[in-house]
Amino acid sequence: MNNPNIVFPPEWAPQQSVLLTWPHKATDWVLMLEEVEQLYLQLAKEILKRESLIIACADASKIEQIESALSGFNDHSLQVFHIESDDTWARDHGPISVYENGSAKLLDFNFNAWGGKFGFNKDNLINSRLVKAKAFEDLQYEAIDMVIEGGALESNGQGVLLTTSECLLNPTRNPQLSKADIEQKLNNHLGIEHVLWLDNGYLAGDDTDSHIDTLARFCADDMICYVKCDDQHDEHYDALKKMEDQLHSFRQPNGHPYRLAALPMTDAIFDEGDRLPATYANFLIVNGAVLAPIYGVKQDQEALDTLQRCFPDREIVPINCLPLIKQHGSLHCITMQIPQSCQPKKITFAAE
């Protein structure tokens, strides 16, 4: 099963750029477009301090405005392309990057809006259109006939994948494939040798069928941070406790347990009576920093302190993501990182 020529890099590997798909008035953001665009500009500025930024923008009239707003922050290159989109969740429609024989390669899996919950035809074409526009320079590109969302995949860079059975085995994704089939394809395309299947854990208000990036994340090749609920009266308590127990049972390929770090569960946040999927696990690792979602609740500082312990050599940059969770996603969901073009000889693990 081993595929040694392919490496699925961890998010903390050196990055070339980050992809954003800009919100526009033909999306569900229409009633809060100005508010969410301000968040996108703040996020874009933090990215451009550290690496290049690629923006897919459906509204051609906004391109000059975006470029002007970011003109004083482009320590690295900024590219804005006029490309149609259904929505803005770049983590799930964006390309998934691997190293094949030491060179970066973009994999364009099918995107079906989390099992056909929303429109997706334009989003499913974004990657190929960006490639035609030379957005990714000369990186290799391959379209894969399999439904996978980036938010469902968490790699430690050493051939281990953390994911949820609720999402990756969901019949709305690849109903023709068995669990063994999916594991084989993960090996074929991503070089995955071992899959850690989380069978429990969810967030109220989540549309993704329990993406792993809302629940648990690798912080180093041997370390996982995860959302922990201490309130026995919270609806998430039982499922997250079972998830925690399963994380404790996981073993590394060398037989040792993983180091675990608990992120707090936020106070319940509601919008028009519906609970929103606020999670501190939805952070983005960029060069030299971790961009961390906060929500204006008392658990914010504990979460930031925990992330600093998980990433002691990186700056922790808080970004208020309350606007994002009103559309049931957060910071990691709207971004997709692209690694540097050549595989580094050694990747320094974040918590060594």
pLDDT at 352: 44
Predicted confidence (pLDDT) per residue in 9-20, tens digit = 999 999 999 999
CB atoms within 10 A of CB 204: 15
pLDDT at 74: 64
> Which positions ≥6 away from 88 have C-beta within 8 Å?
20, 21, 22, 23, 27, 29, 334
User: Which phi and psi (to 5°) does residue 36 adopt?
Assistant: -75, -30
The answer to whether residue 349 sits within a structural domain is: no
The answer to whether residue 221 sits within a structural domain is: yes
Question: Residues in the chain with pLDDT < 70?
Answer: 1-4, 74, 346-352
Q: Which of 96, 132, 130 is nearest to 111 (CA)?
A: 96
Say which CATH number the domain at 30 has: 3.75.10.10
Tokens representing residue 154 in the block = 């968490």
pLDDT at 75: 73
| Count of CA atoms in the C-beta half-sphere (13 A) of 195 | 24
pLDDT at 276: 97
> Sign of dihedral through CA atoms 46, 52, 57, 61?
positive
pLDDT at 137: 84
Q: Which of 199, 81, 77, 88 is nearest to 129 (CA)?
A: 81
The answer to whether residue 348 sits within a structural domain is: no
Single-letter amino acid code for the residue at 162:
L
pLDDT at 3: 62
Structurally, the chain folds into a number of domains equal to 1
The answer to whether residue 204 sits within a structural domain is: yes
The answer to whether residue 345 sits within a structural domain is: no
Task: Note whether 292 and 304 are within 8 A (CB).
Answer: yes
Range of the domain at 90: 6-339
The answer to whether residue 350 sits within a structural domain is: no
The answer to whether residue 200 sits within a structural domain is: yes
The answer to whether residue 115 sits within a structural domain is: yes
> Sign of dihedral through CA atoms 214, 154, 219, 334?
negative
pLDDT at 1: 42
Distance (Å, whole) CA 313 – CA 156: 18
Q: How far is CA 76 from CA 17, 45, 79, in A?
A: 9, 10, 10
